[in-house]
Structure 1
Amino acid sequence: MPDPSFLVTPEHRRIAYRLTDGEGPAVVFCGGFKSDMEGTKALHLQRWAEQTGRAFLRFDYSGHGSSEGAFLEGAIGDWFEDARAACGLLAGPLVLVGSSMGGWISLLLARAMPERIAGLVGIAAAPDFTEDSMWAGFSEAQRAALQRDGQVTLPSDYSDEPYIITRRLIEEGRGRLVLRDPLDLPFPVRLLQGTADTDVPPSVALRLLDHATGPDIRLTLVKGADHRFSTPECLTMIEDAVGQVLGR
């Protein structure tokens, strides 16, 4: 595979992307926390876009994958800005597909530029997770360590290396929350959620469904699916959800 292309954001971060030309609305994949654009879901949608002649964009946030920057220096606002800059590569309406943290990023994009959004698909979307999952789940000792040392370590189910959570990630995220104020999504929205997801439990999807307002918002719960949501059956469901949004 050829090397990715790069763009420099208005904030002077150099991020990697891969763009497939095709018909619009273009589909934009926003990945998860500490993931990259070479994951199963992103590559599956790449192949789907090539087969259907659909414009498709995937990219790496700064500090992720092939993009420049240090992961530990990043925060939700930085990665939202990266995503917004990547969307600037495309003209016309967009369909956002956000996985886990990418679901939060997609909601921030929808709030920032609603006139460009033709639809949104959330896959185990994790809005406000720095506050409602991380901070809320910290013990008093962990909160004290975060304030004292500027970071705290959490185990990871996906790597032998633990997650290092910085104080900036938590504090900056408080200015990016989307479930505290009205959240209008005036376009088709499809939310996909596994019932066996222990990272982003179904209660998060139900809260988002209850909180958001819009004419066409639907949540599909998949019994037994986990956070990866990458089995062949789940990948087909993602395709179908994108197709539904495009069809509307």
Structure 2
Amino acid sequence: MTQPAFLDSPQGRRLAYVATPGTGPTVVFLSGYKSDMDGTKAVHLEAWARSRGRAFLRFDYSGHGRSGGRFEAGCIGDWADDAQAVLEALTDGPVILVGSSMGGWIASMMTQRLGRVAGFVGIASAPDFTEDGFWASFDESQRATLLNDGQVALPSDYGDPYIVTRRLIEDGRSHLVLRSPLPMPFPVRLLQGSADTAVSTDTLLRLFDHIDSPDLQMTLVKGVDHRFSDPASLALIEAAIDQVSPA
């Protein structure tokens, strides 16, 4: 396992990252909720970028992977600030953002904050999931538990239960991106599997409808799940990065 370097963010959070030098716009991978930079997609794309001499950056949000902090203490605003800190400190010039699941939401936010995004690839993007996924699906008992106890535990297909905090829900409402147009004046590719049980195709379509891009394409792959990390799916991600990269 590659040993990371560390960046202290302006908010005082210690963030782990691995940067691969190279040419062209830096490809930056933004991982998902309770995921990290050592996942299959991030590591595969790093090797792919290295083989092509392309600059690549992967990192962990606070409370994730090898970064400092507790996962349960974080929220969308914190993790977006982490992403912004990493992008501003560790990249120069144009960047290609590759966001997986929650990383697709945070990457969407970065396209509005950073003026040098050259392309965006969303993989099973999960914008606004705290409100339209978690909160919308809670029954009255779960909502009461969240408000009274400050958190509620949800079962997960990927290991330990998700601890959803009141802060996560309330902060998420300040960062929703599907309530107004999303100007992205660069190429965008959205990828998702039809067997994804974590993010609905309705979310994919809503994001597609909200993005204002001169070159926007959506690919729905039959039978692929939320991980989107089988060899054929990884090849699709590689192709999408090439498609959104400046000639």
Residue 213 of structure 1: how far off its partner (Å)? 1.1
Q: Which amino acid aligns with 1:213?
A: D
| Count of residues in Structure 1 that have an aligned counterpart in Structure 2 | 246
CA contact (8 A) 2:27 2:96 kept: yes
Describe the SS at the equivalent of 2:77: helix
Corresponding residue number in structure 2 for 1:101: 102
Residue 214 of structure 1: how far off its partner (Å)? 1.4
Q: For residues 247 and 91 of structure 1, do their structure 2 counterparts lie closer, same or farther at Cα, with a shift above 3 Å needed?
A: closer
Q: For residues 116 and 247 of structure 1, do their structure 2 counterparts lie closer, same or farther at Cα, with a shift above 3 Å needed?
A: closer
Which deviations, in whole Å up to 9, do the C-alpha atoms of 1:3-43 show, x marking residues without a partner? 21000011110000000000020000000000010000000
CA distance in 2, matches of 1:214, 1:247: 15
Q: Which amino acid aligns with 2:41?
A: K
* Structure 2 residue 242 is matched with structure 1 residue 243: yes
After TM superposition, where is structure 1 displaced by more than 4 Å over at least 4 residues in a row? none
Q: Percent identical across equivalent pairs?
A: 61
Describe the SS at the equivalent of 2:108: helix
Which deviations, in whole Å up to 9, do the C-alpha atoms of 1:49-93 show, x marking residues without a partner? 110000000000000000000000000010001001111211001
CA distance in 1, matches of 2:62, 2:145: 26
CA contact (8 A) 2:37 2:59 kept: yes
Residue 176 of structure 1: how far off its partner (Å)? 0.4
1:5-154 paired onto structure 2 within 5 Å: 5-88=5-88, 89-113=90-114, 115-154=115-154
Q: CA RMSD in A?
A: 0.8
TM-score (norm 1): 0.98
Describe the SS at the equivalent of 1:18: strand
CA distance in 1, matches of 2:211, 2:29: 21
Q: Which amino acid aligns with 1:74?
A: G
Unpaired stretches in structure 2, ≥5 consecutive residues: none
Q: For residues 131 and 242 of structure 1, do their structure 2 counterparts lie closer, same or farther at Cα, with a shift above 3 Å needed?
A: same
Describe the SS at the equivalent of 1:111: helix
Describe the SS at the equivalent of 2:11: coil
CA contact (8 A) 2:99 2:123 kept: yes
CA contact (8 A) 1:24 1:92 kept: no
CA distance in 1, matches of 2:33, 2:139: 22
Residue 202 of structure 1: how far off its partner (Å)? 1.1
TM-score (norm 2): 0.98
Which deviations, in whole Å up to 9, do the C-alpha atoms of 1:178-220 show, x marking residues without a partner? 0112211111000001111010011111111112111111100
Q: Which amino acid aligns with 1:43?
A: V
CA distance in 2, matches of 1:110, 1:32: 17
CA distance in 2, matches of 1:76, 1:154: 18
CA distance in 2, matches of 1:181, 1:198: 26
Residue 2 of structure 1: how far off its partner (Å)? 4.3
Q: Which amino acid aligns with 1:61?
A: Y
Q: Which amino acid aligns with 2:163?
A: I
Unpaired stretches in structure 1, ≥5 consecutive residues: none
Q: Which amino acid aligns with 1:23?
A: T
Residue 247 of structure 1: how far off its partner (Å)? 4.3
Describe the SS at the equivalent of 1:175: coil
Which deviations, in whole Å up to 9, do the C-alpha atoms of 1:104-150 show, x marking residues without a partner? 0000000111x210000000000000000000000011000000000
CA distance in 2, matches of 1:93, 1:247: 9
CA distance in 2, matches of 1:8, 1:127: 27
Q: Which amino acid aligns with 1:162?
A: P
Corresponding residue number in structure 2 for 1:190: 189
CA contact (8 A) 1:62 1:74 kept: yes
